[in-house]
Each structure stands twice: as C-alpha cells, then as structure tokens.
Chains A and B, each alone.
Chain A
Amino acid sequence: MSEPLPARSVAIADASDIVTARRVARELCEALGLGKADQTRLATAVSELTRNVIQYAGSGTCVIEDASDAAQRRARVLVEDQGPGIPDLQLALSDGYSTSGGLGAGLPGTRRLVDDFHIESEPGRTRVTIALAKPR
C-alpha cells in the first residue's frame, strides 16, 4: 500500500471558503481514483456541511484526508465548528426540516450522498465526519 496522500485543512470563515473546500474534496477524490460521480457527491456534501458552518456557527474547519486502507480507497472529511450546536439531531436529520428557510435537504441529503456519515453535536461543538469509499 502506498503512502496516504497528505491531509488538507481548510479554514471556513466566509462563503468563499465553501468553494475552496469543495474543490479540495474533489481533488482528493480524483487523486484517489474515485470516479466523477463520487467526486461530485463528495464536493456537494462538503458544500452542504461547510455552508451549515457559515450559516449556524460563523466559522469552523474542514479537514479533507485520505483514509484508505488495504481494502479500500477512502476519502474522509471532518467538518467541525464551535457554534451553538444542533439542539435536536433527529429533527435536523429529517427531510424537509429547516431552521433557516432552506429546503431542509442539507443534512439528510448529505447523508444520502456518502457511504459513512457521523454527526455529534453539543452546545459549543458540532462535528460531522463523512467518507466515500471504493474497493481497491
């Protein structure tokens, strides 16, 4: 197995960072040899999650890394913020629910795009981990 590709951290401070983060996500997928559909899925998922950071927390970080192992090629993204947190995760993950006048497709939509989706949230910290993987 070759060395993992270097992780990249993108500071999310304003809306232009959303564009940067999703470009980096696409680049990692491409470097890992994931197809265009997966590149678009991950870029879109990153776009949703980093937009939530801007909208609800103001700022945060997005770490995009190669988490491949012997069995699979895996692109993993961690999005974290120190915002107010999500009071009702169950509700936030249900389709059509939005506190921001959006379509409510953000979190549930993101979950459907990726292979792994993990979210933990409390006041002062929200952390979402997603990953897309393909067998080697």
Chain B
Amino acid sequence: MKIPILRLDRVLLVSIQADLSDNDAMEFQSDLVTRVAEVEALGVAIDITALDVVDSYMARVINDTASMVRLLGAEVVICGVQPFVALTLVEMGRDLLGADCTFNLGEGLALLRQRIAKRGDVRFTEDEDV
C-alpha cells in the first residue's frame, strides 16, 4: 500500500489512513524522506487521525521519520493522535512520541507556517502566506 504524499507549495501533507504493515511503514519512511529532499520541503505534516493503534514499533517509525525530516532541514508536526492512542503510548513508556503534535491537520499546518515564518529568511518563503 502506497501512502500518498501531497504537496502544497513547499509543505508536504501525509495522511496515514490505514493500519500499516511493517513494510508499508518502512516504504513510507523512505518515500517521504526522498520527497522532502526532492522538493526541498520547508515543512511536513503527518496526520495519524485514522490510526487507532500505535505500538512501540510504529511510534519509533514516526519518531525516526520526524528526526530524518528535521535533519534534512524541514519542520515537522504530527497531527491527530487519538486520545486512546495517547493514553496507551504514555502508559507503555515515556518518550514514545517525541515530535510536536497538534489536534488536527489544520492546526498542524498553522504551526508549520508559523515555524517557517520564524526562520525569517525571505529567500525561503515563496509567498506571503508562508
């Protein structure tokens, strides 16, 4: 299963819509990192609203992906962690999800825009909205 990566100017949107197998998860990670480099993305929003189970493996994949994206130079935000997923992740162990989170994709995009604007380098902001 291929996870679509949508591009909105220099921001990438990914919505994980179904339970991923481990292979899907690894493929998603490399697809996203490649794409971030290709379009020199400034921000990435990963929406996990549809995931009702995030085990330690999936948490690691999400965390690692976020770290990779940051290493490339883009801002990253995780959107839509379900309440019972949050509960379970914290009960299992601290620090399973270390990236910044927002309630939903809309807030995620707003946060990314803020962060990107804060970088303050006009060469990297292609329109006034960003």
Chain A residues proximal to chain B, CB less than 8 Å? 15-16, 18-19, 22, 26, 36-37, 39-41, 43-44, 47-48, 51, 54, 95, 102-103, 105-106, 108-110, 112-113
Please give me the residue from chain A that is nearest to B93 by CB atom: A105
Q: Chain A nearest CB: distance from B100 CB in Å?
A: 19
Please give me the residue from chain A that is nearest to B25 by CB atom: A15
| A36 partner, pick from B57, B84, B93, beta carbons under 8 A | B84
Q: Which residues of B contact A39 (CB under 8 A)?
A: 84
Q: Which residues of A contact B96 (CB under 8 A)?
A: 103, 105, 109
Q: Chain A nearest CB: distance from B54 CB in Å?
A: 7
Q: Which of B15-23, B34-42, B108-116 contacts A (4 or more CB under 8 A)?
A: B15-23
Extra A-B contacts (10), CB below 8 Å, given A19-B21, A39-B84: A16-B21, A18-B21, A19-B19, A40-B52, A40-B88, A43-B52, A47-B55, A106-B56, A109-B92, A113-B88
Chain B interface size band reads: 20 to 34
User: What 10 A-B pairs come out closest when comparing CB atoms?
Assistant: A109-B92, A40-B84, A47-B55, A105-B56, A105-B93, A15-B22, A15-B21, A19-B19, A43-B53, A44-B88
- Whether a CB of chain A sits under 8 angstroms from the CB of B91 is yes
The CA-CA distance from A37 to B86 in the complex, in Å, is: 10
Question: Contact: A40 with B60, CB < 8 Å?
Answer: no
A-B contact pairs, 24 of them (CB 8 A): A15-B23, A16-B21, A19-B19, A19-B21, A26-B53, A37-B84, A37-B88, A44-B55, A44-B92, A47-B55, A47-B57, A48-B55, A51-B55, A102-B56, A103-B56, A103-B96, A105-B59, A105-B92, A105-B96, A109-B91, A109-B92, A109-B93, A113-B88, A113-B91
| B53 partner, pick from A15, A44, A54, A102, beta carbons under 8 A | A44
The CA-CA distance from A19 to B18 in the complex, in Å, is: 10
The CA-CA distance from A108 to B56 in the complex, in Å, is: 11
Which residues of chain B from 30 to 75 have any CB-CB distance to chain A below 8 Å in the complex?
A: 52-57, 59-60
Given A16-B21, A103-B93, A103-B96, does the pair A41, B88 have CB atoms closer than 8 Å?
yes
Question: Contact: A48 with B23, CB < 8 Å?
Answer: no
